[in-house]
Amino acid sequence: MPIVIDRDECSGCGLCMDECPAEAISLDDEGIAVVDEDECTECGACVDVCPNVAITL
Ligand code: SF4
Ligand code: SF4
């Protein structure tokens, strides 16, 4: 199951980027978090850190 980010809930705070051990998350042109599925190991660390509960696995 890939990581899914709810674009309506993401504030672009960047906490998930800081937490990701695979450096798989970046912010797009609109300042919304996006996941590189080729790099993501589906560890779940970003899910736990998001204050807006915008990330699901
Ligand atoms: S931690 Fe959540 S709100 Fe913050 S950038 Fe990541 S997905 Fe968006
Ligand atoms: S599940 Fe883990 S590897 Fe994938 S984006 Fe989140 S923190 Fe990074």
Boundaries of every domain in the chain = 4-56
Residues 6+ apart with CB under 8 A from 39: 22, 23, 24
| CATH class of segment(s) 4-56 | alpha beta
Query: Residues lining ligand 1, CB < 6 A?
Result: 5, 10-16, 33, 49-50, 52, 54-55
Residue carrying structure tokens 């915008």: 54
> Measured between alpha carbons, how far is residue 40 from residues 25, 35 in Å?
8, 7
**pLDDT tens track, the chain, 57 positions:** 799 999 999 999 999 999 999 999 999 999 999 999 999 999 999 999 999 999 999
pLDDT at 6: 98
Q: pTM for the whole thing?
A: 0.94
Strands 25-27 and 33-35: antiparallel
Q: Which ligand sits nearest to residue 35's alpha carbon?
A: 2
